[in-house]
Structure 1
Amino acid sequence: MEGKCVTYEKFGSPEQVLRIEHKSIRRPGIGELLVRMTSRPINPSDLIPVGGAYAHRIGLPAIPGYEGVGIVEETGPTVSRNWLGKRVLPLRGEGTWQQFVNAPAELAVLLPDTLDDDTASQLYINPVTAWVTCTEVLQLKPDDVVVVNACGSSIGRIYTQLSRILGFRLVAVTRSRSHTAELLEHGAVAVIQTDDPLNPLLHSTVMQLTNGVGANAAIDSVGGASGMALAYSARPGGKLLSIGLLSGKPLQAAEIAQKTGAKLMLFHLRHWNKQVSAETWQRTFRQLMSFIGSGQLRLCAPSARFDLSDVKEAVRAAQSTEKGNGKIFLTG
């Protein structure tokens, strides 16, 4: 049996190097599930490796994709056949941008019937990152003040909703005024709209909220000047957590240490994955699904869908600044 897949044999612009191929479907091995994929969102984290950012740890040819939802078609030796026909997130196995994925059964997340595919398929990268950084890395407490940039993004919206769930006070920084009402509705105590990272409004707002002390923590997805502005809004001894570099520009660690007093920290989801037990892994997803089920957490609806064969067009849409708030999905 063969299945369609997206692959790349060299690093470069996704629009140029991604291509459609057909590959033989490998039967699941010991402890594995074979899952027929139905839907996958396109994340920046899916595309960054294609460009070569992690060339030192990616073997070519490679199949992209970290998230997605599908149906169990076959079980490997030692795996219960009760999995057959179940709807799951087949995570941390093969790349998800293919029709069939082999994934470890102990890490596959079984989905309740009440959770739709669009929401379920987005449950990993952003929600887990946000939950773990808030609860385990920063260990945020009620009334802590936290500044988050790129808050109009998918993960920014999740942080805002977690502020209401966990009780910390979130100052949202966004480039677009169109997000303000939604972010305040989700739980932000203040929204700062600025294209200028050096805008003094950020610092003054944080100081006003903290009686001149500064934020307990800041979460940076952008890097560069935007991330540095967050460092100056943190109190001495406060934490600046870097979870991404959307600008492509690194933070100046020496300046942060010498001039701001903030403690710079880095978070990579893959590092958490390596040290977390399967039990804690599954418990984390159950917790997030409970928030969604209770209406406390909402993920964005897709802005467009493309067949897997139209991956280049889908990538162009995902990278376009004109796309809507939701993610682009690959189906089929």
Structure 2
Amino acid sequence: MGVIEKLGPQPSPPPTETARKLKEGQRVVGVPWPSAEGEGTWQQYVAAPLENLIPVKDGISNEDAAQYLVNPVTALGFLEDLKIPKGKYLLQNAANSVLGRQIISLAKKRGVKTINVVRRNEVVNELKNIGADEVINSKTEDIVAKVKEITGNEGAWAAINPIGGPSSRPFFSAVRNSGLVYIYSMYGDEVIVPMYDLHFRDITVRGFWLNVDVREKELLEVMDLIADGTLKPPPARVKYPLADVKKAIEDALSTPGYKGKALLKD
């Protein structure tokens, strides 16, 4: 998140309606743009194309705006792509993550039910309090059997899972016939798909990686969803000066659990 210091030469007219309305002194967030020199990470100043800037709405804090791009945009991307009918279930792993919590809130707003897989009983009530319909502890419960029980043997409409290895297997068996399982992130070097589900139930597995070419309409919608509290970023844990970036990274890597983000400040 930053502030427009100065407007340089631009195409005439600027390529998007949003770009045409941007002004000096305005708070904005940057959508990544191709650059041989990087994308402005850990810099006080960066030159950016206007079409890669999204205005920050009044009422959104700098801390929330700094967490705009990855998790909130991904949450909306999942729900837009999956097109789950109201009343049907989305099954998700790692539901206690920041992204998992935001997916719960957005799905609730859209009338989509969620089945959320975690590994600790301590977070079950936390997730239900923010709108989770069902929570499964994978350490003590059978994911496939529980999903079939919840859905009346239909299976979840779709599933999303960031974790590979043996723990990925149940998510394919727990979705409906012709269901889709999105694999995102890179936890583990393989995904295990049961042959029966692949051949006889027509299950599709697809990778998901945040596309920087998300449409302007969706990027603006994400800002609206942050403003109305649907996609609420976690509170910042600590804000470090830019000169302490190494310490900030060490803090982010060494603090386990859901503790909020370590942010940089000017």
TM-score by length of 2: 0.86
- Is residue 64 of structure 2 the alignment partner of residue 119 of structure 1? yes
Paired AA for residue 144 in structure 2: H
State the Cα distance separating 1:261 from its structure 2 match. 4.1
State the Cα distance separating 1:249 from its structure 2 match. 2.6
2:82 maps to 138
State the Cα distance separating 1:303 from its structure 2 match. 1.6
State the Cα distance separating 1:258 from its structure 2 match. 4.2
State the Cα distance separating 1:120 from its structure 2 match. 1.1
Q: Which residues in structure 2 correspond to 1:177-256 (within 5 Å)?
A: 177-194=121-138, 196=139, 200-245=141-186, 247-253=187-193, 255=195
Paired AA for residue 101 in structure 2: R
State the Cα distance separating 1:330 from its structure 2 match. 1.7
Secondary structure of 2:47's counterpart equals strand
In structure 2, relative to structure 1, the CA distance for the partners of 1:103 and 1:293 (3 Å cut) is same
In structure 2, relative to structure 1, the CA distance for the partners of 1:268 and 1:82 (3 Å cut) is closer
1:311 maps to 245
Q: Residue by residue, what CA displacement relative to the aligned partner does 1:178-200 show, whole Å, maximum 9, x if unpaired?
A: 32222112221111223x4xx54
2:46 maps to 101
Secondary structure of 1:249's counterpart equals strand
1:294 maps to 228
1:89 maps to 29
Distance 2:68 2:237 in 1: 17
State the Cα distance separating 1:300 from its structure 2 match. 0.8
**Equivalent of residue 284 in structure 1, options 213, 218, 222:** 218
Secondary structure of 1:73's counterpart equals coil
Secondary structure of 2:103's counterpart equals helix
- Is residue 116 of structure 2 the alignment partner of residue 172 of structure 1? yes
State the Cα distance separating 1:159 from its structure 2 match. 0.7
Contact 1:302 1:326 in 2 (8 A): yes
In structure 2, relative to structure 1, the CA distance for the partners of 1:297 and 1:102 (3 Å cut) is same
Gaps of 5+ in 2: 15-19, 34-38
Contact 1:146 1:171 in 2 (8 A): yes
Secondary structure of 2:6's counterpart equals strand
Q: Which residues in structure 2 correspond to 1:141-152 (within 5 Å)?
A: 141-152=85-96
State the Cα distance separating 1:128 from its structure 2 match. 0.9
Distance 1:207 1:312 in 2: 47
Secondary structure of 2:235's counterpart equals coil
In structure 2, relative to structure 1, the CA distance for the partners of 1:200 and 1:82 (3 Å cut) is closer
Contact 1:134 1:140 in 2 (8 A): yes
Gaps of 5+ in 1: 1-68
Contact 1:92 1:104 in 2 (8 A): no
Q: Residue by residue, what CA displacement relative to the aligned partner does 1:235-268 show, whole Å, maximum 9, x if unpaired?
A: 22111011212x2332135746247642101111
Distance 2:22 2:54 in 1: 14
In structure 2, relative to structure 1, the CA distance for the partners of 1:169 and 1:154 (3 Å cut) is same
1:5 maps to none
Paired AA for residue 296 in structure 1: T
2:17 maps to none
Paired AA for residue 152 in structure 1: N
Distance 1:134 1:205 in 2: 23
Report how many residues are paired. 252
Distance 1:147 1:299 in 2: 21
Distance 1:180 1:300 in 2: 18
Q: Residue by residue, what CA displacement relative to the aligned partner does 1:212-247 show, whole Å, maximum 9, x if unpaired?
A: 1211100011222232221121122111011212x2
In structure 2, relative to structure 1, the CA distance for the partners of 1:97 and 1:253 (3 Å cut) is farther
Secondary structure of 1:129's counterpart equals helix
Percentage of identical aligned residues: 29
State the Cα distance separating 1:296 from its structure 2 match. 2.9
